[in-house]
Amino acid sequence: MKTTDHSAPFASGFRQFALLGLIPLSLALLTPAQAEDAQPPVVDPGQPGGAPSDAIVLFAGKDLSQFRGQNQPEPKWKVENGAVESTPPGGIFSKEEFADCQLHVEWAAPAVPAGEGQGRGNSGVYLMGRYEIQVLDCYNNKTYPNGQCGAFYGHNPPLVNACRKPGEWQVYDIIFHAPKRLADGKVQPGSYTVLHNGVLIQDHIPVGEASTTAAPLSGYAEKGPLYLQDHGNPVCFRNIWIRRLDAAAK
């Protein structure tokens, strides 16, 4: 009597998903029974607008204890009404360092616009202190495409301009994979995927070894701090949290 192996299509499909990058290859190599037992860890997503249970909260509106100053040990940025405002001289670094990560940060340009082009609500979110996603008030304010709001600065313009009006809170959700040095000494590029106010604006854009313009740090590193730039404009930030995606760093 011929029997049918119903697990074969399951295993084949599981491996196909792995090749597409939809599941880890390590899971795809398991037998169906093992795969069913290899349950992902449980993460509480938190309240709407809040941080997941496995996130590192860098700023929750009260203090900058998770940051250090760029030009001084303690950051001098002003904390008020649940937000922090960029204040000269210099930006701020997170005390912890990160590589592959998911970052959530909310920001707002001044409600009363001043200046134009790059002089209007300018700041930046730098992963590893090296790779910048531009912060800029681009609501009815034109500038060069790879320097506008949401650009991977100097490299790649955003797919669309999703800016809200000046003074309104904007949201960046960033998936970042750091460049990695391989056994042969070559550097494998990383990538940026960015949502601005829930809209996809950077779709798996390559990140090479070279730092972006005006980055406070340079050169290859396995990990680095989050850096928020002071560009002389009073930009506010709130609700900053980050999740490590590199398993070895957890």
**Burial letters for 191-215: b for 16+ Cβ neighbours within 10 Å, e otherwise?**
bbbbbbbeeebbeebebebebbeeb
Q: Which CB contacts under 8 angstroms, 24+ apart, belong to 168-171?
A: 168/108, 169/106, 169/107, 169/108, 169/238, 170/106, 170/107, 170/108, 170/109, 170/196, 170/197, 171/104, 171/105, 171/106, 171/195, 171/196, 171/197, 171/198
Q: What is the pLDDT of residue 14?
A: 47
At 39-73, the pLDDT tens digits run: 888 898 988 778 998 999 999 999 999 999 998 88
Residue 155 pLDDT grade (very low, low, confident, very high; cuts 50, 70, 90): very high
Structure tokens at 182: 């391989």
Please determine, for residue 173, whether its predicted confidence score (pLDDT) is greater than 80. Answer: yes
Least confidently predicted of 15-24, 162-171, 197-206, 224-233: 15-24
State both tokens at 162.
Answer: 């999703």
Domain boundaries, the chain: 7-37, 56-249
Determine contact, residues 188/110, Cβ cutoff 8 Å.
Answer: no
What does the pLDDT look like over 109-145, one tens digit per residue?
Answer: 999 988 889 989 999 999 999 999 999 999 999 999 9
Phi and psi (nearest 5°) for 108? Answer: -145, 130
Q: Which residue has the tokens 């970042």?
A: 176
Residue 228 dihedral angles phi and psi, to the nearest 5°: -110, 125
pLDDT at residue 249 is higher than 90: no
Residue for token pair 């997941």: 52
* Local confidence band at 105 (pLDDT 50, 70, 90 cut-offs): very high
How is residue 62 annotated by DSSP?
Answer: S
pLDDT band at 28 (very low <50, low <70, confident <90, very high): low
Q: Which long-range CB contacts under 8 A does 133-140 form with residues at least 24 apart?
A: 133/172, 133/174, 133/192, 133/194, 133/202, 135/107, 135/109, 135/229, 135/235, 136/109, 137/109, 137/110, 137/113, 137/163, 137/166, 138/163, 139/163, 139/164, 139/165, 139/166
Domain 56-249 belongs to what topology?
Answer: Jelly Rolls (2.60.120)
The chain-wide mean pLDDT, for the chain, equals 88
Q: Is 225 exposed, middle or buried (CB count within 10 Å of its CB: 0-12, 13-18, 19+)?
A: buried
Number of other residues whose CB lies within 10 A of the CB of residue 76: 15
In the numeric block, the tokens 């009363």 are attached to 112
